[in-house]
Amino acid sequence: MTETQRVLVIDDEKINLKIISDILRGDVDVTLAKSGSQGIRKAIELKPDLILLDVLMPDMDGFETMAILNRDVRTCAIPVIFITALDDARHEEKGLLLGASDYIQKPFNAEIIRARINLHLQLSQQRKMLERLANIDPLTSLANRRKYQERLFQEWDSALTSKSPLSLVVMDIDDFKQFNDHHGHAEGDKVLQQVARVISSQFQRSIDLVARYGGEEFVALLPNCNKEYAMEVVGSCAKAIENLQHTYHHNDKKYTVTISSGGVTYVPDSSGKVEDLFSAADKMLYLAKQKGKNCVLWTNNDLLTSL
Ligand SMILES: Nc1nc2c(ncn2[C@@H]2O[C@H](COP(=O)(O)OP(=O)(O)OP(=O)(O)O)[C@@H](O)[C@H]2O)c(=O)[nH]1
């Protein structure tokens, strides 16, 4: 089922807001704002698929509003269509140069408005689909490494500002080569999918990011999260994965699929480097494997600062 798309209309004249919402009603969700500042607030809050923005408004005009929307990471990707007067070529040009996707002219022509808006909503949908494809691992539907890297930098900066602990854990399936050799790659894929589902169901805070780092390795990035909570969740993941009871025999010994994990909790400061966070967790993972696998090892600031 496709979601109804949302269009935000920003115009100081009530009559224009009414005409446009009458034209669009039924096809899309319409949200109205009667000033630039109100429009910016609603754009941040509702993340519309498209914004229609009047050029001439008192206080903050359309160009200023667009410049603020462009500077904010939460709104800069939302396409904007300027509303201009029919004979206003200079404003059209300035709007397009600022990055507007298109313009519609007053007095309004219902058919042209519908056609233009439908076109831009289609483009917006395609762009979102491409964005999803670029950020999601196709086998497990988890975020991919690219998405994880992007979030890591954002969360590092934000933890640096708020001086809050950032936890990172790397989880790796034990002896997965043996499992593949015994059951075949297709069964191995199914295990990866199940493990991914288990891991993402255990990390329940909406701010946490779980991603497939590559191969049989997963990462979880936990903003504002202390070591105790992070270790508890990772422990639950490990138990739930063992309980899946994927077993096989190798050299007359029975094996069950398990994971080893390495984690770090760190309050970023200017002396630390974001890359060292992963290195510290990965080092813990390495030690967990050395220790005999199926266990969790964790570190904190000390290791990170000595890397
Ligand atoms: N089925 C399947 N296997 C994968 C995928 N990606 C990586 N692998 C396999 O994961 C295995 C990883 O092997 P190793 O790096 O030797 O690690 P391991 O056998 O898990 O050993 P330890 O990490 O030391 O516990 C290899 O056999 C890869 O082929 C995948 O997408 N699907």
Q: Per-residue pLDDT tens for 168-184?
A: 999 999 999 999 999 99
Q: Is 253 helix (H, G, I), strand (E, B) or coil?
A: strand
Q: What is the pLDDT of residue 289?
A: 98
CATH code at 145-306: 3.30.70.270
Give CA–CA dist 30/22, Å, rounded. 9
Q: What is the pLDDT of residue 94?
A: 85
Ligand 1 pocket: which of 142, 171, 176 to mutate (most atoms within 8 A of CB): 176
Which residues are 28's β-sheet partners?
25
Mean pLDDT calculated for residue range 289-303 = 87
pLDDT for 101-153, tens place per residue?
998 988 889 999 999 999 999 999 998 899 889 999 999 999 999 999 999 99
pLDDT band with cut points at 50, 70 and 90 for residue 303: low
Mean pLDDT calculated for residue range 25-52 = 95
- Reply yes or no on whether the pLDDT at 86 is more than 70: no
Q: Which CATH architecture has domain 6-133?
A: 3-Layer(aba) Sandwich (3.40)
Q: What is the pLDDT of residue 162?
A: 94
Residue 216 among the catalytic residues? yes
pLDDT band with cut points at 50, 70 and 90 for residue 301: low
Nearest CA to ligand 1 atom 13: 177
Give CA–CA dist 244/257, Å, rounded. 8
Give residue limits of the domains in the chain: 6-133, 145-306
Q: What is the pTM of this model?
A: 0.75
If one counts every other C-beta atom within 10 angstroms of the C-beta of residue 64, the result is 14
Give CA–CA dist 9/29, Å, rounded. 11
Of 210-224, 228-242, 262-276, least confident by mean pLDDT is: 262-276
Mean pLDDT calculated for residue range 283-303 = 90
Structure tokens at 61: 């005009």
Instruction: Ligand 1, residue 173: give the atom nearest the CA.
Output: 20
Half-sphere exposure of 217 (CA within 13 A, CB side): 14
Q: 3 versus 8: which is more confidently predicted?
A: 8
Spacing, Cα 131 to ligand 1 middle (Å): 28
Spacing, Cα 53 to ligand 1 middle (Å): 52
Pocket of ligand 1 (CB under 6 A): 139, 172-178, 180, 185, 188-189, 192, 215-216, 289, 293
Instruction: Ligand 1, residue 293: give the atom nearest the CA.
Output: 25
Which range is most confident: 55-64, 91-100, 243-252? 55-64
Mean pLDDT calculated for residue range 46-68 = 94
How high is the mean pLDDT of the chain? 92
Q: What is the pLDDT of residue 165?
A: 94
Phi, psi of 81 (to 5 degrees): -110, 125
Q: What is the pLDDT of residue 307?
A: 47
To which H or E segment does residue 254 belong? strand 253-256
Give CA–CA dist 266/301, Å, rounded. 5
Catalytic annotation, pick one of 216, 228, 242, 275:
216
Mean pLDDT calculated for residue range 77-100 = 85
- CB-based contact 143:133 (threshold 8 Å): no
- Reply yes or no on whether the pLDDT at 158 is more than 60: yes
Mean pLDDT calculated for residue range 50-71 = 94
Give CA–CA dist 200/242, Å, rounded. 15
pLDDT for 260-289, tens place per residue?
999 999 999 888 889 999 999 999 999 999
